[in-house]
Structure 1
Amino acid sequence: MRTILTCAALALALGSAPAFAQSGEITIWSWNVAASSLKATIEGFNKQFPDIKVTVQDLGNQPTYDKSIAGCAAGGEGLPDIVTIENGEAENYWSQFPDCFVDLHTLGYAAEDQAKFPDFKRTELEVEDKAYSMPWDSGPVAMFYRRDFYEEAGVDPTSIKTWDDFIVAGKKIQDANPGVTMTNADFNGDSEFFRMIANEQGCAYFAADGQSIIVNQPACVASMTKIKEMKDAGIISSADWSTKITNNTAGKVASQMYGGWYEGTIRTESPDGSGKWGVYLMPSLTADGPRAANLGGSSLAITSVSNNKEAAYAYLKYSLATNEGQIAMLKGFGLVPSLISALDDPYVSEGQPYWGGQAVWKDILGTLPKVVPSRGTPFQSDAEIIVRSVQTKYLGGGYPDAKAALDDAANQIASATGLPIEE
């Protein structure tokens, strides 16, 4: 009787999780630290729902996308109960396969539940009156840096306000620390650095309404120009995801710029770096310019073929819509909460031992209100492939300037999508 009452009380506390969603098995597809953080919530979830077995499968980022898209195309064949979906790719799913995922409203996801999350996180997850996915984490950008390398060069990170400051500091740091590169970027397989700086400057591939192409607007051109200046200055080298982790651990890089979720990657993959790392705001193009951007962030969606939709929804409500679930993932693996109430949790203001006692979450999350929303649209993948190719050619000297490069990118995206280029 006590167990029944406890579960019923939790169902009321969580909103409208159905009373019969107290048993069954659910499987989730995810990747890397995201998968690890989901596993960290299972113990707390099972204290409330002991008869729901949760299995998290770490497929890797691209395989999760590829397999879930393929599953949707096959009418849901082979899909798990829950799929992790990145915000930037979300509209690819809804536009192609609107019946592949459950409208969460049918499971009790009400307006008051939606209001617990910021609008910029919900924009790509909701279509008209349907909510296909629940917001999970966000990616407020920060510069993660090695305190010892900066100190050896006499560089105070608080003095780095602009990207030009970053270039000057990078040269000093590399001179003072032989074998160390100021920062890494995946120039061969991603446009991450460009997207972060462009978002900081209020530019993206597409306009906010998703109806036109703006990648060749002045703010994007200035962002791409600055990246080439950094590369030409020798303070930024190309490295993919795994190579960056290797460089972090081996002490071959002084800084890494990423979304806040990278905190967990550094802390868990490079444990010997405890006390050596710190965080500061990303630089801007001008001394008084914006210093906030978002990179990444995901959501959880329930597949239409799930045989345990109510149990899956109960898990979503616990892991994503309670402070307990969100803070467990933040503590364990640095997954940044999207749940507004979680940002006021005392843990956010605590100094973190790995980061030399710095209250890194207070600094990182403090930028969230300043982030300019960036719309992915159903054409994000098409645009990304084009921009990556243009970026590689531009950085190799294949265009006279960034404007010519991004004009080419805009024209290619227009041909691929049918969207107009904004004048």
Structure 2
Amino acid sequence: MNKYIKLSLIFLIVIILFVAVSCNKKESYSEKEVYKGNLNIVTDAKYEDQFRTSAEKFKEIYKKVNVNVKTDSNIQGNLKNLLSDNSSDADIISINDENLEYDLNKFKNNILDLTDSVSNYKNTIISNKIYIDTVNGRIYGMPWDASPELILYRKDIFKNENININDIKTWDDYINIGKKISGDKCKNFIGNNEASSNFNLILANQLGTSYFNYNKKLDFNSEKWNRIFELKKQIYNENLIVNFNSEKELIKAAQSGNIVSVIANPYTAYDLMKAMPDSKNMWGVMKLPAFECGGNNNVSIGGINLIVNKNSKNSKLAEEFIKFALTDDNLQIELLNKYGRLPVYKNSYNFVDMDKYIGYFDNKIWKLFSDSQNGAFNIEYTKYFPDIYSEINSFLDPTNIKNKDAKTVFSDIEKALENKLK
């Protein structure tokens, strides 16, 4: 074959390969539609820095976009005004898990249906979080963060008591250890931030229920809630748990040395490291004990979701921001390392940073959190949840649990809520 023909064929093959690679290459953000304009995000102060960081990264790609992050200490109370068609101050709004279906029931005409816009990436979001945003088969929000629960424990105290955490399989095991340590050291055995990690819902999620079952009916007549009640009775009768009203109070107690173990979500673990930087060899981490040997010890409750104001003139821009903020690889890791925010993007759980050893806890704590998130049951909130949450918790307070039987307490709950659930 003529050498010129050979060279021509080689050149043609190179061109074909180049075109094939270019066509199969993942579309870069710079190749997408050019967005411009102002985008307003309203969130709680706790999440302000996370959204500002996300906004900065978004603007690096979409240079004609200006993202404003505003904080509101009472989003739930102000939601009607934030969603008003006369308002241009809120394109994206963050709301808590427990409020999503409740808010949708009240303001459905003002909350954008995201089903179509997220269809090409919804399967990359962990299923037990996007489940919360799905109502009657339609998606009205996207989860921002994951909030699985682990136990942080005083490794030094456990070591002095010759306690091997590998021997702790069940809550009964943990209670027996607590009785010994609390008696010897006069310390509170378990500390919990009730504001973000409601102990009732933690135990319920372990057993695959909540205040409501998957049929959206109250579940207090179930065997599961009888088991929860009896476990709490043991814990309260032995005075093993102290519930705090905020993370700040919980960490202050940990700093004072009065807490042996802490029920912690990723934010709590991260904030403890920052608050007690010189306590590197003090804290260890483990999954929650199960109800029985071999039982479920994965739990996830709480977090926030992003909804889009249907009246927004920037809804397409808002949808693009949400997609970027949830799926950009580098951003997920930056938010984890800077703020302790556990991503909801499945691919993130395979990143090196999620599997890295954290010397402070002598463990791969982010891997433990992600395993717990992936293994946790879905949780039912329903449109009634915010209206009945406090009332149910008042019936399940330590005094009632210590002094009454489960049948009486659950009967009282159902009577009190009978008219509210119609």
User: Which interval holds the TM-score relative to the shorter structure?
Assistant: 0.7 to 0.9
Match for 1:40: what amino acid? T
Corresponding position of 2:413: 409
Instruction: Give the direction of change, closer, same or farther, for the CA distance of 1:331–1:390 in structure 2 (3 Å limit).
Output: same
Aligned residue number for residue 12 of structure 2 = none
Quick one: structure 1 residues 38 and 144, their matched pair in 2 at CA, closer, same or farther if it must change by over 3 Å? farther
Q: 2:16 matched to which residue of 1? A: none
Report the equivalent of 1:213.
Answer: 218
Say which of 147, 152, 155 aligns to 2:163: 155
- Bigger drift between 134-143 and 299-308 goes to 299-308
**Conservation of the 8 A alpha-carbon contact between 1:38 and 1:329:** no
1:100 corresponds to: 110
Q: Structure 1, residues 292-334: CA drift from partner, whole Å, max 9, x if none?
A: 1211122211223434333322321221122222222222222
Residues 270-309 of structure 1 deviation map (CA, whole Å, 9 limit, x = unaligned): 4444443221010122222211121112221122343433
Distance in 1 (CA, whole Å) between partners of 2:31 and 2:140 is 17
Question: Structure 2 unaligned runs (5+)?
Answer: 1-24
Contact 2:97 2:305 in 1 (8 A): yes
Distance 1:90 1:359 in 2: 32
1:150 and 1:156 in contact (8 A); partners too? yes
Structure 1 equivalent of residue 70 of structure 2: 57
Deviation string 1:394-413 (CA, Å, 9 cap, x unpaired) is: 54645x21232123223333
SS of 2:393's equivalent? helix
Tell me the residue number matched to 2:42: 28
3-state SS in 1 of match to 2:219: coil
1:68 to 79, 104, 114: 79
1:41 pairs with 2:87? no
Task: After superposing the two structures, state which structure 1 stretch, 227-236 or 343-352, moved more.
Answer: 227-236
**1:276 aligns to 2:282 (yes or no):** yes
Measured against aligned partners, the alpha-carbon deviations of 1:316-366 in whole angstroms (never above 9, x if no partner) come to 12211222222222222222221111111111110123323x111112211
Q: Offset of 1:47 from its aligned partner?
A: 2.0
Q: CA deviation at 1:147?
A: 1.8
> In the alignment, does 2:96 pair up with 1:91?
no
Task: Return the index of the structure with the highest Cα Rg.
Answer: 2
CA positional deviation for 1:204? 1.5
The correspondence of residues 272-421 of structure 1 with structure 2, limited to 5 A, is 272-356=278-362, 358-392=363-397, 394-395=399-400, 397=402, 400-418=404-422
Provide structure 1 residue ranges, at least 5 long, that are not aligned to the other structure: 1-9, 419-423
Alpha-carbon displacement from aligned partner over 1:127-180 (angstroms, at most 9, x marks no partner): 3464221122222221122222322333222222111211121233334544x3
Cα distance in structure 2, aligned partners of 1:71 and 1:159: 51
**How far apart, in 1, do the equivalents of 2:161 and 2:65 lie?**
54
Residue 166 (structure 1) aligned with residue 174 (structure 2): yes
Residue pair 1:14, 1:318 contacting (<8 A) in 2 also: no
What are the equivalent positions in structure 2 for 1:104-253 lying under 5 Å apart? 104-105=114-115, 108-109=117-118, 111-128=119-136, 130-178=138-186, 180-185=187-192, 192-210=198-216, 212-241=217-246, 242-253=248-259
Distance (whole Å) between structure 1 residues aligned to residue 378 and residue 323 of structure 2: 25
Q: Is the 8 A contact 1:65 1:85 kept in 2?
A: yes
Opposite residue 123 of structure 1, the aligned amino acid is Y
The whole-number CA distance in structure 2 between the counterparts of 1:206 and 1:130 is: 21
Identity %: 19
Q: For the structure 1 residues 11 and 302, does the alpha-carbon distance in structure 2 shift closer, same or farther, using more than 3 Å as the test?
A: farther
Name the aligned partner's letter for residue 382 of structure 1.
D
Secondary structure (helix, strand or coil) at the match of 1:355 reads coil
**Deviation per CA, 1:44-84, whole angstroms, max 9, x where unpaired?**
22321234333333444xx2322225544x55647522211
Report the secondary structure of 1:417's partner residue: coil
Amino acid in the other structure paired with 1:374: I
Structure 2 CA distance for partners of 1:299 and 1:12, relative to 1, 3 Å: farther
Number of equivalenced pairs: 397
- Kept in 2, the 8 Å contact 1:191–1:388? The answer is no
Aligned-partner Cα distance in 2 for 1:347–1:101: 35
Shift in alpha-carbon separation, 1:269–1:226, aligned structure 2, 3 A: same
Distance 2:398 2:240 in 1: 19
User: RMSD in angstroms over aligned alpha carbons?
Assistant: 2.8
- One-letter amino acid of the counterpart of residue 221, structure 1: N
Kept in 1: contact 2:29–2:61 (CA 8 A): no
- Aligned residue number for residue 7 of structure 1: none
CA distance in 1, matches of 2:255, 2:398: 31
- Kept in 1, the 8 Å contact 2:209–2:380? The answer is no
- Could you tell me how far 1:382 is from its partner in structure 2? 2.3
Match of 1:56, SS state, is: strand
Letter in 2 for 1:90: L
**Aligned 8 A contact 2:197 2:301 in 1:** no
Query: For the residues of structure 2 that align with 1:251 and 1:45, how far apart are their CA atoms?
Result: 42
